[in-house]
A and B are shown apart, each in its own frame.
Chain A
């Protein structure tokens, strides 16, 4: 006999929990497949709780609170409504079905209603079928290939450290937190305290921006070392603190499940032309998810994808876009979750290979580094070329395939080198060539540019807080000080983190930091598209 669907209900203390109590007091029966979590207010139910419930194999989630106007905390239930609406969008993108999440208003006197809701929801879930993420039994996973830490220490040249301190004096974190110091960490290891390194909170504080190793005279590969330590720490059950309640990493873990069948092409403009197979594939990345999650800071992440497709169509390219494209897994790689990272790598590469694409273009610096540098370590030779959108754009501009009608007039721009594109992969010129070819614009470099560029403050969602905000504010002040009208990014993460820093309250005058932020493809589309650009003169 098929077992009943599992429902998890979040009930607010003042109304819905009391309503469910009344169901009991009235001896009204309902299906036994619901478990309740009491919260003080329905407005407390985080999207990450809901995602976690589905990750744990639960088939349906009910969020129930007081009727609008009756909330014990005035408007908590209205906040719950908004949170549930956003989470439904994410569930829809994941292909789990937004109807697995249900919002109800059940008052303390509505005992019968609670029973009715559970009965109806159970029936609905039976029709929808079980949660694809449900694990019937713990599958025996093939052990992930791991390099022992002792070998990593050798491979990354840790022992060549001269203790010159260039790393610590360059480090943006050390500047604000003297307890964190690459030099001290390396010294601890050399002096034989290997075991300490993986317990060291400093392992998680590092931005992996690579500024230290860029300047290290002994070529210590500090970034690789930190990443390997995080892998080791994860094995010991130690993880870092990620912002947004770990939601972004949870999404990646969900996508690593082969049973997930996403519905993620809804953002495509109606007139966009794409194909199922072909030479060129556009790897979109997590932009459709960012669009929902970072709506409140107006990050506009999905605009990048739309611009890329439109530009490609303009030069007669119909890019292949994967229907079930999964996150590249960069953040899982850099937080040490190798089991799930490998799954994502294999699934993505398989899917790309099936399209017979020869070239993969990505608009994200992290996807670029991950696919070009990290994927081959897992799958061997990729069988296709990986190119960042700035390289693609520079190429078609050089081949004179794009004509700029001269939309801007004396537009001053500055450019943020992403860590993953610049220092990690050595791509500094392509984005600059693109910008320089746009007529009537001036590229005003920030003081710290190219190899000396400053990280956008957060990597892999780790440790966002006081220090990250300060790094971002410093960078924005630097950008504004160039006199530029617009700050151009080449990575959706830079865009999100810098825009977040400008949203909300600021410890300095807003005029010191507010600069318009546009991603590179969006800038190019503006320069091409006469309709839009007229507004921006």
Chain B
């Protein structure tokens, strides 16, 4: 039913519906007494009780009473709003009432269920809770939700395997995708790999099929040698400018953005002789060498895990997830090339999780790769002998002794780290980096591929170190999330947002500073009073679509210019005042 035009100055006529909830509430709280009490509260035009207010009988009763008694506010005293607030809001809407003119009083989870042995106190508390809800309801105002259109196009930044998979996933759904890559070739990290664990398949062949699919897809616009310069706008309407080949400017108008910029291998300069000895290499460098085959003079290899990872607080504290599997892969490969070679893997905690990697580990052991556990407090040392041969000393925790290993090559397993290009994107997109330097998602469980800023998503190693299969899964997740607003075509903002009273606004920017979502901007305006006065001023402006309604700006504002709709200062103060006394 269409909402009747709300008269914002009308006197509140509140209807209070108190629920027995079977015996859940009615068995403890004296419901008839609460109903009688509700009738005495100022602004209450009607009060009744129901057995189950959320039933179809209960909601239709609300609908009837709204019309019969010309109610313009509704309070339901029952369970927690986290269960049925949407249901009762919809009931109000059906009766022609704006859905924000509704308030709930929680007299079940917060009252009858926790004071089951004290019915008198529970009844008093229920009366107080109802009085609080009525106090707020008196001050409720109708709210509107605004909608914006969403451009059905995505910008994917980074054309590694994650970026390409995300692009394809969206392209197959019919969306336009602009795939942007800073290098001259696509493929990212995959171009530097030789084999992929745990299947040991050929990296180049795997990559090639993905690249061909991307180039063949009509919905994907690929731009190589292109870097992002500026990003403006918000979900549904991003305006991005980029620089191609160092000279041509391109602009993209997209509805969503996916960050798939990947990561780079940490270079352990100065650690274990890296940079000084040619025979001390990283795993990626080893993969390059192994493409041609193991050099003749290399018969003994020692791999050291956790180099520059799992450090003390202040360093890189994280485990990079992929280095153990990489070591297993390369160690097994060396044994395949030269069965008589000696390969040692010096590890702290071998991350060989799940079914596949545990098997991978067993197979490496079967190939006679030797595993030695070391302690972080007693790391191995690498020395060079007078003949140029390397000598590794490691404290073997199993036998409790330090053992020397002469070898021809030392391979350092280092973590993935964020690279400069990724870091510079953070302020452009206004998305955060976590403590480890990687991009930080909105919520680890509730929103794992979203950024707090609406319309921007992340996948692959840009988010955290992970294997190729995990990157692909996350890429699909990011694409799915990005598809949601684009498929709907419109994005509506919650009505519970901030609003600015321009007369009270000093343009100090404190609200803008505290807003995590960049929903507030300071607009330059001219304050003009004919005929003599004219001055430039700054006025805060809230983007309703981005604002999440947390209320941080309301506290930061010294004058009260910014107010939180539906949770205004006056409404909350009314609840506080009504908490224990009328």
Cross-interface CB contact of A73 among B108, B552, B567, cutoff 8 Å: B552
Q: How far is the CA of A505 from the CA of B508 in the complex (A)?
A: 5
Say whether A58 faces chain B, with CB atoms less than 8 Å apart. Answer: yes
Segment from A218-226, A461-469, A486-494 that makes contact with B: A461-469
Q: How far is the CA of A51 from the CA of B505 in the complex (A)?
A: 24
CB neighbors of A among B400-439 (8 A): 432
Say whether B522 faces chain A, with CB atoms less than 8 Å apart. Answer: yes
Segment from B6-14, B117-125, B252-260, B476-484 that makes contact with A: B117-125
A–B complex contacts, Cβ < 8 Å, 28 sampled: A23-B114, A24-B109, A24-B114, A27-B113, A32-B118, A35-B129, A39-B551, A44-B550, A46-B554, A48-B569, A53-B579, A58-B579, A72-B550, A73-B552, A83-B555, A175-B532, A243-B558, A463-B504, A464-B559, A465-B501, A466-B539, A467-B503, A468-B506, A469-B508, A470-B527, A473-B535, A504-B507, A507-B538
Inter-chain contact B116/A29, CB cutoff 8 Å: yes
* Nearest-CB residue, chain B, relative to A474: B535
Residues from chain A with Cβ under 8 Å of B538 in the complex: 505-507
Say whether B212 faces chain A, with CB atoms less than 8 Å apart. Answer: no
Residues from chain A with Cβ under 8 Å of B581 in the complex: 56-57
Instruction: State the 6 A-B residue pairs at the shortest beta-carbon distance, nearest first.
Output: A24-B109, A504-B508, A44-B551, A73-B550, A505-B509, A24-B113
User: How would residues 565 to 576 of chain B score, 1 for a CB under 8 Å from any chain A CB and 0 otherwise?
Assistant: 001010011011
Inter-chain contact B576/A53, CB cutoff 8 Å: yes
Inter-chain contact B537/A41, CB cutoff 8 Å: no
Say whether B70 faces chain A, with CB atoms less than 8 Å apart. Answer: no
Inter-chain contact B569/A46, CB cutoff 8 Å: yes
Chain B binding surface, main DSSP class? mixed
Query: Given the known A-B contacts A24-B110, A39-B572, A76-B552, are A57 and B121 also in contact in the complex, defined by CB atoms under 8 Å?
Result: no
Q: How far is the CA of A72 from the CA of B114 in the complex (A)?
A: 27
Say whether B536 faces chain A, with CB atoms less than 8 Å apart. Answer: yes
Cross-interface CB contact of A49 among B114, B116, B533, B576, cutoff 8 Å: B576
Inter-chain contact A72/B443, CB cutoff 8 Å: yes
Residues from chain B with Cβ under 8 Å of A470 in the complex: 527, 535, 537
Q: How far is the CA of A76 from the CA of B550 in the complex (A)?
A: 7
What distance in Å separates the Cβ of B29 from its nearest Cβ neighbour in chain A?
Answer: 11
Say whether B369 faces chain A, with CB atoms less than 8 Å apart. Answer: no
Inter-chain contact B569/A21, CB cutoff 8 Å: no
Q: How far is the CA of A348 from the CA of B253 in the complex (A)?
A: 67
Say whether B84 faces chain A, with CB atoms less than 8 Å apart. Answer: no
Inter-chain contact B560/A32, CB cutoff 8 Å: no
Residues from chain B with Cβ under 8 Å of A49 in the complex: 569, 572-573, 576
Residues from chain A with Cβ under 8 Å of B539 in the complex: 466
Say whether B382 faces chain A, with CB atoms less than 8 Å apart. Answer: no
Residues from chain A with Cβ under 8 Å of B508 in the complex: 469, 500, 503-505
* Nearest-CB residue, chain B, relative to A505: B509
Residues from chain A with Cβ under 8 Å of B109 in the complex: 20-25
Residues from chain B with Cβ under 8 Å of A241 in the complex: 504, 560
User: How would residues 25 to 48 of chain A score, 1 for a CB under 8 Å from any chain B CB and 0 otherwise?
Assistant: 101111010011111110111101
Residues from chain A with Cβ under 8 Å of B527 in the complex: 176, 466, 470
Inter-chain contact A52/B577, CB cutoff 8 Å: yes
Cross-interface CB contact of B116 among A27, A35, A501, A508, cutoff 8 Å: A27
Inter-chain contact A508/B559, CB cutoff 8 Å: no
Inter-chain contact A469/B537, CB cutoff 8 Å: yes
What distance in Å separates the Cβ of B186 from its nearest Cβ neighbour in chain A?
Answer: 33
Say whether B82 faces chain A, with CB atoms less than 8 Å apart. Answer: yes
Say whether A281 faces chain B, with CB atoms less than 8 Å apart. Answer: no
Inter-chain contact B552/A79, CB cutoff 8 Å: yes
Say whether B469 faces chain A, with CB atoms less than 8 Å apart. Answer: no
Inter-chain contact B509/A504, CB cutoff 8 Å: yes
The number of chain A residues touching the other chain, given as a range, is 35 or more
A-B contacts counted at CB < 8 A amount to: 202
Identify the interface centre among B114, B551, B558: most chain A CB within 10 Å of its CB: B114
User: How would residues 43 to 75 of chain A score, 1 for a CB under 8 Å from any chain B CB and 0 otherwise?
Assistant: 111101100110011100000000000101111
Q: How far is the CA of A473 from the CA of B524 in the complex (A)?
A: 16
Inter-chain contact B580/A21, CB cutoff 8 Å: no
Identify the interface centre among A24, A45, A115: most chain B CB within 10 Å of its CB: A24
Q: How far is the CA of A501 from the CA of B558 in the complex (A)?
A: 11
Residues from chain B with Cβ under 8 Å of A508 in the complex: 536
Inter-chain contact B572/A37, CB cutoff 8 Å: yes
What distance in Å separates the Cβ of A82 from its nearest Cβ neighbour in chain B?
Answer: 10
Inter-chain contact A32/B550, CB cutoff 8 Å: no
Measured CB to CB, the residues of A under 8 A from B are 6, 8, 13, 17-18, 20-25, 27-30, 32, 35-41, 43-46, 48-49, 52-53, 56-58, 70, 72-76, 79, 83, 115, 175-178, 241, 243-245, 463-470, 473, 500-501, 503-508
Say whether B561 faces chain A, with CB atoms less than 8 Å apart. Answer: yes
Say whether B502 faces chain A, with CB atoms less than 8 Å apart. Answer: yes
Q: How far is the CA of A534 from the CA of B513 in the complex (A)?
A: 35
Q: Give 5 new A-B contacts, CB below 8 A, not counting A38-B81, A40-B567, A79-B514.
A: A32-B125, A48-B569, A57-B580, A465-B505, A505-B512
Inter-chain contact B452/A74, CB cutoff 8 Å: yes
Inter-chain contact A46/B555, CB cutoff 8 Å: yes
Q: How far is the CA of A13 from the CA of B85 in the complex (A)?
A: 13
* Nearest-CB residue, chain B, relative to A22: B109
* Nearest-CB residue, chain A, relative to B506: A469
Q: How far is the CA of A79 from the CA of B554 in the complex (A)?
A: 12
Identify the interface centre among B115, B508, B510, B550: most chain A CB within 10 Å of its CB: B550
Residues from chain B with Cβ under 8 Å of A21 in the complex: 80, 82, 106, 109-110
* Nearest-CB residue, chain B, relative to A465: B504
Measured CB to CB, the residues of B under 8 A from A are 80-82, 106, 108-111, 113-118, 121-122, 124-125, 128-129, 132, 432, 442-443, 446, 452, 496, 501-510, 512-514, 516, 522, 524, 527, 529-530, 532-533, 535-539, 548-552, 554-555, 558-561, 564, 567, 569, 572-573, 575-577, 579-581
Inter-chain contact A466/B576, CB cutoff 8 Å: no
Residues from chain A with Cβ under 8 Å of B549 in the complex: 40
Residues from chain B with Cβ under 8 Å of A464 in the complex: 504, 506, 558-559
Cross-interface CB contact of A37 among B113, B502, B554, B576, cutoff 8 Å: B576
Inter-chain contact B555/A43, CB cutoff 8 Å: yes
Inter-chain contact A18/B537, CB cutoff 8 Å: no
Residues from chain B with Cβ under 8 Å of A74 in the complex: 432, 442, 452, 516
Cross-interface CB contact of A58 among B125, B506, B532, B580, cutoff 8 Å: B580
Inter-chain contact B552/A41, CB cutoff 8 Å: yes
Identify the interface centre among B128, B530, B558, B569: most chain A CB within 10 Å of its CB: B558
Residues from chain A with Cβ under 8 Å of B111 in the complex: 24
Inter-chain contact A44/B554, CB cutoff 8 Å: yes
What distance in Å separates the Cβ of A512 from its nearest Cβ neighbour in chain B?
Answer: 11
Identify the interface centre among A38, A40, A463, A468: most chain B CB within 10 Å of its CB: A38
* Nearest-CB residue, chain B, relative to A8: B579
Cross-interface CB contact of B529 among A45, A79, A178, A507, cutoff 8 Å: A178
Cross-interface CB contact of B110 among A36, A45, A76, A473, cutoff 8 Å: A36
Q: How far is the CA of A243 from the CA of B505 in the complex (A)?
A: 11
Inter-chain contact A466/B555, CB cutoff 8 Å: no
Query: Given the known A-B contacts A27-B116, A505-B522, are A75 and B516 also in contact in the complex, defined by CB atoms under 8 Å?
Result: yes
Q: How far is the CA of A25 from the CA of B527 in the complex (A)?
A: 56
What distance in Å separates the Cβ of A460 from its nearest Cβ neighbour in chain B?
Answer: 14
Residues from chain A with Cβ under 8 Å of B452 in the complex: 74
Q: How far is the CA of A245 from the CA of B507 in the complex (A)?
A: 17
Cross-interface CB contact of B506 among A73, A76, A466, cutoff 8 Å: A466
* Nearest-CB residue, chain A, relative to B125: A32
* Nearest-CB residue, chain B, relative to A467: B503
Inter-chain contact A465/B567, CB cutoff 8 Å: no
Q: How far is the CA of A298 from the CA of B114 in the complex (A)?
A: 47
Residues from chain A with Cβ under 8 Å of B446 in the complex: 72
Inter-chain contact B558/A56, CB cutoff 8 Å: no
Q: How far is the CA of A177 from the CA of B527 in the complex (A)?
A: 10
Q: How far is the CA of A508 from the CA of B522 in the complex (A)?
A: 13
Identify the interface centre among B132, B549, B555, B577: most chain A CB within 10 Å of its CB: B555
Q: How far is the CA of A21 from the CA of B507 in the complex (A)?
A: 40
What distance in Å separates the Cβ of A249 from its nearest Cβ neighbour in chain B?
Answer: 13
Residues from chain B with Cβ under 8 Å of A506 in the complex: 507, 538
Inter-chain contact A40/B496, CB cutoff 8 Å: yes
